[in-house]
Amino acid sequence: MTGTVRGPAGTGRGTPLLELQGVGKVYGESGLSVAALRGVDLRVEAGELLSIMGPSGSGKSTLMNLLGCLDRPSEGRYLLEGRDVALLTDNELAEIRNRRIGFVFQTFNLLPRSTALENVELPLVYRGLPAAERRRLAREALEVVGVGHRLTHRPAQLSGGEQQRVAIARAIAGNPGVILADEPTGNLDSRTGEEIIALFQRVNRELGVTVIQVTHDLHRARQTRRIVRLRDGRVVDDRPVPEAEFVAAGSGDAGAAGNLDAGAAGPAAAAAAGAGQTPGGEAR
């Protein structure tokens, strides 16, 4: 048997990274309540790159919030690396969010008064790392995502694409197991969106980070390896993207993707290995 991960079949051995069993989520009180998720079963193996699709209101963000331990299921079980999230204390959940999960949002969610470097450092501050160490990790992460030349810029001084890169640097700096990205390209033009997806593909491939993105766009979804579709809070489809349909992001768009490709293996591999020096500097 090969080690190939086939998420949707759910037949992988060992403990999945994430597993939802019959998960439901109800908002509000009886009478006015909304069932945002119903009976959701989902299994995600470590190292997957997958998309969640579905119409507006189908429960995609609710699902991401549950997966990210930002909220708890109303029913069913959520096992994260084999641990039942319902049994964890608030402190344990906060610790997991800080160490194991990186969040990326449509609106970037950077602190406006902080520099790129400070934004990326922040989760590492909560982790209690010494200043020099967190600065090194933050700088490396910014170099990996191609904004090593924007360390002291504040969000308003950065383009949307650069802000999203900073957000991704913040997500990867702490070496998370999984990145949860809710419509990460929703506020970006298509070329910039392409660069961001290329970056996710690289982070997944070279750093081994599991990436789950929400997208409305089938083209973007085909840039991942598996598509889970929601409708009215239920999973209505869950299948791998056939190899022939998979799209490597950024290919054939040298202008946009050049800074990603240049020295890509270097910084990413260095970050993965925890090494210090990265070339950087060639970003536009």
What residue 22 binds from ligand ADP, Mg ion, none (CB within 5 to 8 A, per partner kind)?
none
Q: How far apart are CA 103 and CA 112, in angstroms?
A: 17
Closest-approach residue to Mg ion (CB): 61
Answer for which of 61, 65, 213, 224 binds Mg ion (CB under 5 A) is 61
Asked if 107 touches ligand ADP (CB under 6 A), the answer is no
Q: Decide: is 161 part of the binding site for ligand ADP (CB under 6 A).
A: no
- Unique residue bearing structure tokens 């070496």: 175
User: Residue 34: which of Mg ion, ligand ADP, none does it interact with, CB under 5 to 8 A by kind?
Assistant: ligand ADP
Q: Smallest gap, in angstroms, from Cβ of residue 172 to Mg ion?
A: 23
184 near ligand ADP (CB under 6 A): no
Q: Is the CB of residue 50 less than 8 Å from the CB of residue 180?
A: no
Residue 212, strand partner residues: 50, 180
Q: How far is the CB of 236 from ligand ADP (least distance, A)?
A: 13
From ligand ADP, Mg ion, none, interface partner of 58 (C-beta below 5 to 8 A by class): ligand ADP
Residue 250, contacted partner among Mg ion, ligand ADP, none, CB below 5-8 A by kind = none
**Distance, CA of 252 to CA of 17 (rounded, Å):** 34
> Contact 213/184 with Cβ under 8 angstroms?
yes
Cα–chain center distance at 33: 29
Residues 6 or more apart whose Cβ sits within 8 Å of residue 273: none
Burial 131-144 (b: 16+ CB within 10 A, else e): eeebbbbbbbbbbb
Span 53-92, contacts to ligand ADP by CB under 6 A = 54, 56-62
Q: How far apart are CA 205 and CA 30, in angstroms?
A: 45
Q: What are phi and psi of 53, to 5 degrees?
A: -120, 170
State yes or no: residue 201 binds Mg ion (CB under 5 A): no
Positions in 25-44 near ligand ADP (CB under 6 A): 27-28, 34, 36
How many amino acids of this chain bind ligand ADP (CB under 6 A)? 12
Choose from ligand ADP, Mg ion, none: what does 8 bind? Cβ within 5-8 Å by kind: none
Residue written as tokens 């439901």? Answer: 24
By the criterion CB under 6 A, which residues form the site for ligand ADP? 27-28, 34, 36, 54, 56-62
Residues that bind Mg ion in the complex, under the rule CB under 5 A? 60-61
